[in-house]
Amino acid sequence: MKEVFLVKPEDKLKAEDALKKDDVVSRGSIMLRAAASLDIKEEGYFIIVDCSAEGIAKARELLKTMAIKHGKKEIVLQKIEDQENAALQGFGSFMG
């Protein structure tokens, strides 16, 4: 299960630290991406949490004062997938 949050630059480290220190959330995957790196006109960073439903609920609780749940989750996830696929294709071309 994945959830996408948007955090302001000044809260990025605090939010990341809170998620990584939590036993439930840290069992999953926590990814940060600058919104600008995804060509999305938002200020800040996306935090993508991929874990159990319990972990997502805990992440929402931990981030409630630092980040907001992003309303266009599917667009963010698709852009990340597209970037990863492009990187893999480039690496495949490089390796021959």
Over residues 52-82, the pLDDT tens digits come to 999 999 999 999 999 999 999 999 999 999 9
pLDDT of residue 92: 53
* CA dist., res. 12 & res. 24, Å (int): 20
Q: Determine the average pLDDT of the residues in 37-56.
A: 95
Mean pLDDT, residues 24-35: 96
CATH topology of domain 2-95: Alpha-Beta Plaits (3.30.70)
Helices (H) and strands (E) in the chain, counts: 3, 4
Q: How confident is the model at residue 84 (pLDDT cuts 50, 70, 90)?
A: confident
- How would residue 87 be classed by pLDDT, with cut points 50, 70 and 90? confident
